[in-house]
Structure 1
Amino acid sequence: MLPAIARTSANCRLVLRCRRGYATTLGATTPSLTKRLPRKLGGVYTVTLIPGDGIGAEITDSVKEIFEHVNAPIEWEQYNVSGVSSAGESLFKAAVESMQRNKVGLKGILFTPLETSGHISWNVAMRQQLDIYASVVVCKSIRGAPTRHNNVDFAIIRENTEGEYSGLEHQSFPGVVESLKVSTRAKAERISRFAFDFALKNDRKARGRPHPGANVTCVHKANIMKLGDGLFLNTFRRVAEEYKASGITYNDMIVDNTSMQLVSKPGQFDVMVMPNLYGAITSNIGAALVGGPGIVPGCNIGREYALFEPGCRHVAKDIMGTNKANPAAMILSSTMMLRHLGLDAIANSITAATYDVIAQGQAKTPDLGGNASTSDFTAAVIKNL
């Protein structure tokens, strides 16, 4: 773990570090909130690895190859869980138990079937069972990634464990389905504090935004869902008052207007906090603003566990096995994991090499307008190291 840091609340802290003016990746810093630290033996950390479906195996292979090249002190405990069928439920349970032992994991995205007869989302189930309640995705412009907007820089803090993803629905009468959205004050307060702590810890400056300093925006639909989203919004406002002395400003915005504002004037946003479904949508919009899902890393943080995965959660089955996937998002997510474990020097080296490859256009994968392969990109990162 990283050195002890000031604890203004019981929530986890997240630290952003910049390299050579490129986009930042996250170093998740979790105070000592539990009895057990991440599993470490002989100077080597044991990390749960779940490659996931679609392109997962290809992009996690990139990470393993880079880690081997730099001799990172990581030992993988790999579980090839697949969400394609419910037959892998026992392996999924074993992967969860591995996370409970190791405390830290790196994960691709598991496929979730659309059919009503299919199993529930194992991605959601893992977040709920481990209570990794805060999803963090930082969308920041990257040199070398062609985009319509410049100087985009905002963080999306998403509540991970309830809301529309509660999984409580039934058919009360043929053709009539009731789906429950669960909202609790305790979890709304927890994620709101996390967002303000994130803004405070990272000392986010205005950088051209209309606000004088750090600003937190609550995204909601309280005008329609007056009780559910009303509870989330009112809890956010109450928490915001406690941070006024720190100089952090705050506002709120209805989710449909947020979507329009993101694609027209993304520079107005700094830190955004929102319920589960809105976070899933805005993360995809944010990724599109800065170059696509292939370059946006992410992490999920709880009181005991930290799980790192691409910020834009796509299985990408259409390019599975073609060696065309951009591994940057997974590579950068793995560097966030390294910082979480206190391995900053290795993380910074890999991060800088990855951004150099993107900035210089050395190995542009198809999503960035080139024809380089996953292997080409990986080799270019290793060469830059």
Structure 2
Amino acid sequence: MTKKIVALAGDGIGPEIMAAGLQVLAATAEKIGFDYQVEEKPFGGAGIDAVGHPLPADTLAAAKEADAILLAAIGGPQYDLAPVRPEQGLLAIRKELELYANIRPVKIFETLAHLSPLKAERIAGVDFVMVRELTGGIYFGDHILEEDKARDINDYSAEEIERIVRQAFEIASRRRKLVTSIDKQNVLATSKLWRQVAEQVAKDYPDVTLEHQLVDSAAMLMITKPSHFDVLVTENLFGDILSDEASVLPGTLGVMPSASHSANGPSLYEPIHGSAPDIAGQGIANPVSMILSVAMMLRESFGREEGAERIEQAVDAAFKEGVLTADLGGRASTQEMTEAIIKNL
């Protein structure tokens, strides 16, 4: 059956890296017999330019009907003072599609280890997954600002906690079978509930080890012993901070994909970096995060493990051949990097 993929190229370098991702997807699909069609829609600044809104109704309708969504990047300085910003489209699509689970793999490519801010011996063997709850917590609670005081409400239900923790256990069961649940249960009531629910979910996965870390301790451990982690799961605010901390470990944002999973609808896959308007249109953007997001899509939405592995191994092979874009210390163009990956499929 033909799978429907909606592509949201967005702004800045978005169209360039989306084109690269779709080239690699086409080459991979041919090798593994994957039948799909792509529908391209405006989103972010491109949506504002088209119809005055970052999430046009037609784009949302197509996304809801899709089997998976690829998003490149959004934003640009021309929208800084606009009444509606491109980022509002991202919050809106997360809410509309109920994209509650944000997944960020953090892996060190051996040939790029020198780019990490950490010492080589400390970064060796780092390969973990950040699982962040994306639609609850303090970001979605009531915000009250008065003249001399303010209050932000942090709400979590047991159901919200259970589904994100279960997502982490499912991922860990296919990896090294260790889940690190991160909270602040010595202070916060939401964290006390979080820890209770995590313990209950763990009973359904007897072959997976559950450990608990306070968020401040976890932040230290991510720098001092990052290779310890396998799958980390945490709430929205802690996850926002820790996933950004984790993103600097490889030394570049240009090789980090992500996924956002829905409870019932399609998942969305995107690079973690921004739209880099300063280099847009120059053909020098690093497409690897987008290409690895395509690999995540093949694995997690369509169960096509072979296709995902082919792409990931082809990326690694291109790096080992010395094909590197400027952000990785090389001179390869976006297209040259893409072609090297396709050659290595």
Structure 2-normalised TM-score?
0.84
Change (3 A) 1:143 1:107: same
The counterpart of 1:289, out of the listed 231, 246, 249, is: 249
Q: Which residue of structure 2 aligns with residue 36 of structure 1?
A: none
The residue type paired with residue 156 of structure 2 is: S
CA RMSD of aligned residues (A): 2.7
Q: Which residue of structure 2 aligns with residue 24 of structure 1?
A: none
- For 1:54 and 1:44, locate their aligned partners in 2 and report how far apart those are by CA, in whole Å: 30
CA contact (8 A) 1:299 1:306 kept: no
Q: Which residue of structure 2 aligns with residue 255 of structure 1?
A: 215
Q: CA deviation at 1:332?
A: 1.2
- Long gaps (5+) in structure 2: none
More deviation, 53-62/249-258: 249-258
Change (3 A) 1:319 1:380: same
The residue type paired with residue 279 of structure 2 is: I
The residue type paired with residue 261 of structure 2 is: I
Give SS of 2:112's match.
coil
Q: Which residue of structure 2 aligns with residue 50 of structure 1?
A: 8
- For 1:110 and 1:175, locate their aligned partners in 2 and report how far apart those are by CA, in whole Å: 36
Change (3 A) 1:103 1:238: same
Give SS of 2:154's match.
strand
Structure 1-normalised TM-score?
0.76
The residue type paired with residue 218 of structure 1 is: S
Q: Which residue of structure 1 aligns with residue 185 of structure 2?
A: 222
- For 2:308 and 2:209, locate their aligned partners in 1 and report how far apart those are by CA, in whole Å: 32
CA contact (8 A) 1:300 1:306 kept: no
- For 2:141 and 2:72, locate their aligned partners in 1 and report how far apart those are by CA, in whole Å: 22
Change (3 A) 1:117 1:174: farther
- For 1:117 and 1:384, locate their aligned partners in 2 and report how far apart those are by CA, in whole Å: 46
Q: CA deviation at 1:118?
A: 4.5
Q: Which residue of structure 2 aligns with residue 128 of structure 1?
A: 95
Is 1:356–2:317 an aligned residue pair?
yes
Aligned length: 328
CA contact (8 A) 2:70 2:270 kept: no
The counterpart of 1:99, out of the listed 60, 63, 82, is: 63
Give SS of 2:38's match.
strand
- For 1:48 and 1:190, locate their aligned partners in 2 and report how far apart those are by CA, in whole Å: 26
| Sequence identity percentage | 29
Q: Which residue of structure 1 aligns with residue 128 of structure 2?
A: 154
Give SS of 2:60's match.
helix
Change (3 A) 1:279 1:313: farther
Q: CA deviation at 1:98?
A: 0.9
- Long gaps (5+) in structure 1: 1-42, 206-213
CA contact (8 A) 1:137 1:311 kept: no
- For 1:142 and 1:236, locate their aligned partners in 2 and report how far apart those are by CA, in whole Å: 32
Q: CA deviation at 1:364?
A: 0.8
1:1-385 matches, cutoff 5 A: 43-70=1-28, 71=30, 73-83=35-45, 88-89=52-53, 91-111=55-75, 118-119=84-85, 121-146=88-113, 147=116, 148=119, 149-166=123-140, 168-171=142-145, 173-174=146-147, 176-200=149-173, 202=174, 204-205=175-176, 214-224=177-187, 226-243=188-205, 246-310=206-270, 312-339=272-299, 340-361=301-322, 363-385=323-345
